[in-house]
Structure 1
Amino acid sequence: MDRVRVLVADEHRIFAESLATALSAEQDVEAVAVGSVPAAQHLLERIRSTHETPFDVLLIDADLDGAVAPANGTPPLLTTAHERYPAMRTVMLAAHDDAGRAAQALAAGASGWVAKDSSLARLLTVVRGVLREETHLSPTLLTGVLRELARDRRHRDEHQRLVESLTPRELEVLRCMLAGLGRKAVAERLYLSPHTVRTHMQNVLTKLGVHSTLAAVALARRAGVSPAE
């Protein structure tokens, strides 16, 4: 019988270990617990480098710092997990329902949002279900999540239209800004003068309707613009 490997990441280590132990009591489940995003990322990296059997499902504490949004300059755990193991499914473990955060997690690739106080039988149903490409949300959360996703789609479409108003050179400059390059570095990369780069940057801000580089970068990310390599 193939065993389902589950990684539980929760800042409440006792909860994580208790849940991992309960899941591992099932004949077809093997679960491991970690207490932070860095610990989870380190474990995933070690498995990849040593060619160990990867995890099938990642259960993440929805309140864990760095789970969905970047923290301390590092990519969120959801992003790292999907980049390294595209086949691995992720499910958010939440203390309470939050349509906005659930929609953000689903948009980032999560396959479900489940209450932490769910029964073990419910969690096992979710773990096995997401491996069958199912998405798991409570009925009371579903309407709010669909509303949030529709609103985000409208905003993303508007952001994409703003980005499409940029010239090819302005788009190059914006991608450099996304990569964290300053004016001098952008000038060297694109073989332009700093003055020309400043003009392009100002044009980018004007066309995107923002007043700072940080706001332009945030809008570009929401529009799906990729940073310069």
Structure 2
Amino acid sequence: MDDHRIFAESLAAALAAEPDVDVSAAGSGPAALRCLERAAGEGRRYDVLLVDADLGGHASGSRPAVPVQDGDEEGLVDGISLVAGVRAAQPAVRIVVLAEKDDARRAALALQAGASGWVAKDCSLSRLLTVIRGVLRDETHLPPALLTGVLRELTAARRHRTESERLVESLTPREREVLRCMVAGLGRKAVAERLFLSPHTVRTHMQNVLGKLGVHSTLAAVALARRAGVGPADLTGDVVERGSQLA
């Protein structure tokens, strides 16, 4: 018996009893994404995405996803690991995360990913509806007991980001380009081919990047770069011009 789907369908049925709410149910992250894509293909859109905090996109361990439509507007439920992707693809969609227990760190991560609310899964239906309607008014909803912890986590994250940004700013333009290639997952040879440099020169640049960032591995450099907001090199665009002054 698929208990995840049962949960999704039970929640959908409870929400659908409201006269101004139209709901769809999906039993996994991929199913919820298909629901989003199908709605977009039909010229419709969802307003709210109800996300199970433990969805995570695992095939066998995924939690339910439930799309919601409110009056002329719409909404959906999906997994926390998909929140950022959904927000990037459809920024108008508000996202509320449903959680088994309060967790300030995960709630902060959810907000950073683009969620507008964090709600206990055992809350009352009236509370959930209040949150859904609140986020449609651009409100952010958190349990009062989580506020201090979430603010602490967000402040710490901002402090780490600021430090990471300062370190990245210490890189030369060429080193930043090499770092973006590293974030894109390119190895030394691929970076050399993309930037029209010798592998030896790329190796030197990479060593300089690690040294200036104060890390000892490519993985650590990539993690720091992402904290600083450094995106991957555009592998579909033009490569750096040969003979560029950045070399």
Provide TM-score, normalisation by structure 2. Answer: 0.82
Amino acid paired to 2:15? L
Select the structure of larger CA radius of gyration: 2
Q: What SS class does the counterpart of residue 215 from structure 2 fall into?
A: coil
- Residues 3-152 of structure 1: matches in 2 within 5 Å? 12-48=4-40, 50-66=41-57, 76-152=81-157
In the TM superposition, structure 1's runs of 4+ consecutive aligned residues that sit over 3 Å from their partners are none
Q: CA deviation at 1:37?
A: 1.7
Tell me, yes or no, if the aligned pair for 2:55 and 2:81 is still in contact at 8 Å. no
Q: Which is worse superposed, 39-48 or 89-98?
A: 39-48
**Over the residues paired in the alignment, what is the CA RMSD in angstroms?**
1.6
Amino acid paired to 2:29? V
Distance 1:158 1:117 in 2: 39
Q: CA deviation at 1:127?
A: 0.6
Distance verdict in 2 for CA 1:186–1:46, change over 3 Å: farther
Distance 2:211 2:38 in 1: 45
Amino acid paired to 1:202? Q
1:189 aligns with 2:189: no
Deviations 1:98-136 (A, max 9, x none): 000000110111001000001000000011100000000
1:218 aligns with 2:210: no
Distance verdict in 2 for CA 1:76–1:65, change over 3 Å: closer
Q: What SS class does the counterpart of residue 12 from structure 1 fall into?
A: helix
Amino acid paired to 1:104? L
Structure 1, unmatched stretches of 5+, are 1-10, 68-74
Aligned length: 211
Amino acid paired to 1:118? C
Amino acid paired to 2:101? H
Tell me, yes or no, if the aligned pair for 2:99 and 2:121 is still in contact at 8 Å. yes
Amino acid paired to 1:18? S
Distance 2:228 2:115 in 1: 20
1:156 is matched with 161
Q: 1:205 aligns with which of 204, 210, 223?
A: 210
Distance 1:225 1:66 in 2: 25
Amino acid paired to 2:167? L
Deviations 1:2-48 (A, max 9, x none): xxxxxxxxx82211110011101111111112122222223223333
Tell me, yes or no, if the aligned pair for 1:93 and 1:114 is still in contact at 8 Å. yes
Q: What SS class does the counterpart of residue 43 from structure 2 fall into?
A: coil
1:6 is matched with none
Distance 2:120 2:132 in 1: 13
- Residues 158-177 of structure 1: matches in 2 within 5 Å? 158-177=163-182
Q: CA deviation at 1:66?
A: 4.1
Percent of aligned pairs sharing the same letter: 72
Amino acid paired to 2:36? L
Q: What SS class does the counterpart of residue 102 from structure 2 fall into?
A: coil
Deviations 1:33-88 (A, max 9, x none): 2122222223223333x143111000000111149xxxxxxx94112211221111
